[in-house]
Amino acid sequence: MRVRRGFRSGQNFLARGGFARERREASLHHLVMRHELPIFRNLAGVEPQLFANKKVNLELAVKELEGIVIRPGETFSLWYLVKAPTARRGFKEGLGISRGRPVATVGGGLCQLSNAIFWLALHSDLQVTERHHHSLDLFPDDHRHVPFGTGATIVYNFKDLRLYNPTGREFQFRFRVGENLFESELYCSQIPEFRYTVRETDHAFLNQSDGLYRRNTILRERRSETADSTEVLFRNFAKCLYSPKEA
């Protein structure tokens, strides 16, 4: 991992001119989508303090992302902007994942940030050039607002979330960390040509010899004044770390 992180740092240095870095206080003209998620969740075996710490981590991270504009031809990189989530910078122990198990880790909980950004991006013309999915379904649903399998896991300077702007328009993310709601918005400089809807199909829980699995297919519908189309974004098949009764 150290070697890969070092290699990534070198790549970032060479490509630094292509990353989105401009920040604007005013929002762009057109709201593409708004999304909100609860910060605190009822997950068995997880201490509530980890969610309180996650809130702190989110507040620190969004300070580095708030108002960032992705201009035509630029790439948005979450870690390039947020940088290392260390205790020295004020990040606390939040809920993280290590070897497929929930753990307390400094900077934990920032996957909620990457999940929100990825979900917004799926409803726009931004191209996802790097995204890593969760290999396991760790907890049963609790206030899930999006289809299973539409998250994006991140590990500092190792697994990133990156979005490329291939259009002639500008995009901008805005965030707000409330008492128990994390709100995110995507704006565009012009009215988007297409409208997107993301949904799941073929959802099921499957009992296998080695445990419970979950599957679904994620579809994206694209609509305009002249034509409609539907594409398969990805198919999910993950082992559940909870029982059929909990599911």
Pairing verdict, β 136-137 and 228-240: parallel
- For residues 50 and 42, the answer to whether their CB atoms sit within 8 Å is no
Confidence tier at 241 by pLDDT (50, 70, 90): confident
Radius of gyration of the chain (CA): 18
The percentage of residues in the chain with a pLDDT greater than 90, rounded to a whole number, is: 74
Residue 91 — left, alpha, or beta (φ > 0 → left; ψ -120 to 50 → alpha)? beta
pLDDT tens for 134-177 read 888 888 887 677 999 999 999 999 999 999 999 999 999 999 99
pLDDT tens for 214-236 read 999 999 999 998 889 999 999 99
Distances (CA, A) of 167 to 110, 142, 164, 186, 246: 28, 36, 9, 15, 44
- Both tokens of residue 97? 């994942």
Among the ranges 43-57, 78-92, 99-113, which has the highest mean pLDDT value? Answer: 78-92
Q: Is the pLDDT of residue 245 over 70?
A: yes
Q: Mean pLDDT of all residues in the chain?
A: 92
Q: Is the pLDDT of residue 42 over 80?
A: no
Pairing verdict, β 181-188 and 30-38: antiparallel
